[in-house]
Chains A and B, each alone.
Chain A
Amino acid sequence: MIEGAYDLAEDKGEALAVEGVSVWLSGREILHDVSFSLHRGEFTGLIGSNGAGKTTLLRTILGMQVPTTGTVRIGGSPRGAHGAAVGYVPQKILLDPDIPLRSRDLVGLGFDGHRLGIPLRSKHRRILVEEMLEAVDASRFADSRVGTLSGGEQQRVLIAHALIRHPRLLLLDEPLANLDIRSEYEVVELLSRLAEEQGIGVLISAHDMNPLLSAMDRIVYIANGRAASGTTDEVVRTEVLSKLYGSHVDVIRIHDRILVAAGHEHDGLPAHTEPSVWAIGGRS
Chain B
Amino acid sequence: MVDALLRSVFEPGLFSSGPVHTAAIIGGIAAVVSGVVGTFTVMRGQSFAGHALSDVSAAGGSASFLLGISPLLGFVGMAGIAAGGMEMIGVQRARGRDLATGIVLGAGLGLAALLLYFDATFTSTTGAAITVLFGSMFAISSSTIPLVVAFSLVALGMILVVYRPLILSSVSTELAQVRGVRVRLTESIHLLTLALAVALSAMTIGAILSTALLIGPGAAALRVAHRPAWAIFSAALIGLGTTWGGILLAYDSYYWSSDHRGWPVSFFVVSLIFIAYLVSGRVGARSTHRAPKPLAIEEISSSPTQSTRS
Contacts and interface: CB of A to CB of B under 8 A. Distances in A.
Interface of A: 62, 64, 81-83, 86, 88, 90, 93, 95-102, 105-106, 109-110, 112-119, 140-141, 143-145, 148-149, 153, 158, 161
Contacts, number: 109
Tell me if A's interface is mostly helix, strand, loop or mixed: loop
- How many of chain B's residues touch chain A, expressed as a range? 35 or more
Tell me if B's interface is mostly helix, strand, loop or mixed: helix
Interface of B: 42-43, 160-165, 167-168, 170-172, 174-181, 221-222, 225-231, 288-293, 295
Contacts of B289: 148
Contacts of B171: 95-96, 99, 101, 106, 109
Contacts of A119: 163-164
A86 B178 CA distance: 9
Contact of A93 (B163, B172, B222): B172
Contact of A118 (B160, B174, B290): B160
A64 B226 CA distance: 32
A140 B292 contact: yes
A192 to B, nearest CB: 20
Contacts of A110: 179
B174 A109 contact: no
A117 B163 contact: yes
B42 to A, nearest CB: 8
A85 to B, nearest CB: 11
21 contacts: A82-B179, A90-B172, A90-B174, A93-B172, A97-B288, A99-B170, A100-B43, A100-B228, A100-B231, A101-B171, A105-B228, A112-B164, A113-B167, A115-B165, A116-B161, A117-B163, A144-B290, A144-B291, A145-B290, A153-B292, A158-B175
Contacts of A112: 164
Per CB-CB distance, the 3 closest pairs between chain A and chain B, nearest first, are A141-B292, A113-B168, A82-B180
Contacts of B288: 97, 145, 148
B43, B168, B176, B231 pick with most chain A CB within 10 angstroms? B168
